[in-house]
Amino acid sequence: MAKIIAVVHTKGGVGKSTTAVQLALGLAKENRAGVEGDGPEAKNRVWLVDGDRQKTSLGAITARQEAGLPAIAASAYDQGATLRVQVQQQAAAYDFVVLDCGGRDNSALRAALTVADLALVPFLPRSFDVWAFQDIAELLDETRAVRDIRAVAFLNLADARGSDNDDAAAAVKGYPQLELAPARVSRRKAIASASGAGLHISEYRPRDPDAAEEVAQLQRYLVDTVMRST
Please state the length of the chain: 230
Angle at 74 between CA 69 and CA 77, to 5 degrees: 155
Give the model confidence (pLDDT) of 46-95 as tens digits: 999 999 999 999 999 999 999 999 999 999 999 999 999 999 999 999 99
**Full domain range(s) for residue 77:** 3-229
Q: How many structural domains compose the chain?
A: 1
Decide: 52 and 77 in contact? Cβ < 8 Å. no
Give the model confidence (pLDDT) of 149-170 as tens digits: 999 999 999 998 888 999 888 8
Report, in angstroms and rounded to the nearest whole number, the Rg of the chain calculated over CA atoms: 16
Nearest one of 149, 208, 146 to 177, comparing CA atoms: 149
Give the model confidence (pLDDT) of 31-46 as tens digits: 998 788 888 889 999 9
CATH code of the domain in which 190 resides: 3.40.50.300
pTM summary value: 0.96
Angle at 191 between CA 212 and CA 66, to 5 degrees: 105
Can you say whether the dihedral through the CA atoms of 196, 197, 203, 206 is positive or negative?
A: negative
List all residues 6 or more positions away from 170 whose beta carbon is below 8 Å from its beta carbon. none
